[in-house]
Amino acid sequence: MSREPDKTDLDTGDIDLETLGEDVPLLEGIRTTRAIRRLRPDPVPPALIRKVCEAGTFAPSGGNRQPWQFIAVTDPERRAWVAERYRKGFHDYIAPAVEAAKDPAFPEAGRRMQRAAIHLADHLHEAPVHLFVAGFKRRGDPQTQALYPAVQNVLLACRAVGLGASLTTLHRSFGPECDAWLGLPDNCPTCALLPIGWPEGRYGRPPRRSVDTCLHFERFDSERAAAGRPRR
C-alpha cells in the first residue's frame, strides 16, 4: 500500500491482520516512529492489540527470563479511572514548563510538544487502549533493562500497523494505587503506559540532531557533545 492502513481498511476488509505491517522496512519504521498523542476514539480490534504486544515479546531479556506482562485497559469506565488520576498528576508536573513557555524566547517546537502532551492528558479517557507494561522483579529490582526494549518493540509495531502511540511514565505518580487496581502483585510493578489508538495525524520522520554529535570513538569528546546538545 502507498499509504498507511487505518480503521477504514479494517472495517471494509481491505486489510488482513496477519499480514498488516509485515512489509514495513525495519530502518524506515525506526526512523518514522514518533510519539502520536492525538488519537481517535474508535476501538482497536483485540487481535491487533495482541499483534503489537507479540512484537514486544521479542525484546531481549537477560537469561531469556521474559519478565514482561501487558495489561490492555479498554473499558470506558476503567479508562476514565486512569485518566482522572493521570490528568491531575500531569498538570501538576507540567505547570512550571507551561509558565516557562510564556517567555517569547521559548522554542516554538517546545510549545508544540507541550500542546500535544496537554491534549493527551485532557483526552486520555478517549484513547481506546491504555496499554500498561509491567514486569516481574528479580532480586528485588525491576527488570527495566528488558521492559523498555519491549516497550520500543510495541511502539514500532504500532507504527507498522498504522496505530498511533506514545510512551508515558507519569502514571507512576499514582503507581502503587494503579498497580493494585490492575490486579498486579507487589513484585510485578508497571513501568510504562502506552495510550494507543488510530492517529489523527500521520507518522513521519521527527527532527533529530546528527549522530555525529553524539557518536564517539575510543573516548568521549566534550566539544562534539556540546555542539549537538539541544538548547531549551
**pLDDT, tens digit (0-9, with 9 covering 90-100), for 61-81:** 999 999 999 999 999 999 999
Residue 194, beta-bridge partner list? 131
**pLDDT, tens digit (0-9, with 9 covering 90-100), for 123-172:** 999 999 999 999 999 999 999 999 999 999 999 999 999 999 999 999 99
Q: Quote the CA–CA distance of 109 and 34 in Å, as a whole number.
A: 14
- Kindly list the distances between the CA atom of residue 26 and the CA atoms of 19, 31, 113, 159, 183, in Å, as whole numbers in the listed order: 15, 9, 26, 11, 35
With a cut of 90, say whether residue 58 has pLDDT above it. Answer: yes
C-beta separation of 121 from 86 below 8 A: yes
Average pLDDT, the chain: 92
The mean pLDDT value for 14-28 works out to: 89
Neighbours of 224 (CB within 10 A): 13
Q: Could you tell me the domains of the chain?
A: 7-207 (3.40.109.10)
With a cut of 80, say whether residue 99 has pLDDT above it. Answer: yes
With a cut of 70, say whether residue 11 has pLDDT above it. Answer: no
Q: Quote the CA–CA distance of 5 and 11 in Å, as a whole number.
A: 11
With a cut of 50, say whether residue 1 has pLDDT above it. Answer: no
C-beta separation of 144 from 134 below 8 A: no
With a cut of 50, say whether residue 9 has pLDDT above it. Answer: yes
**pLDDT, tens digit (0-9, with 9 covering 90-100), for 40-54:** 999 999 999 999 999
Would you state the pLDDT for residue 4?
62
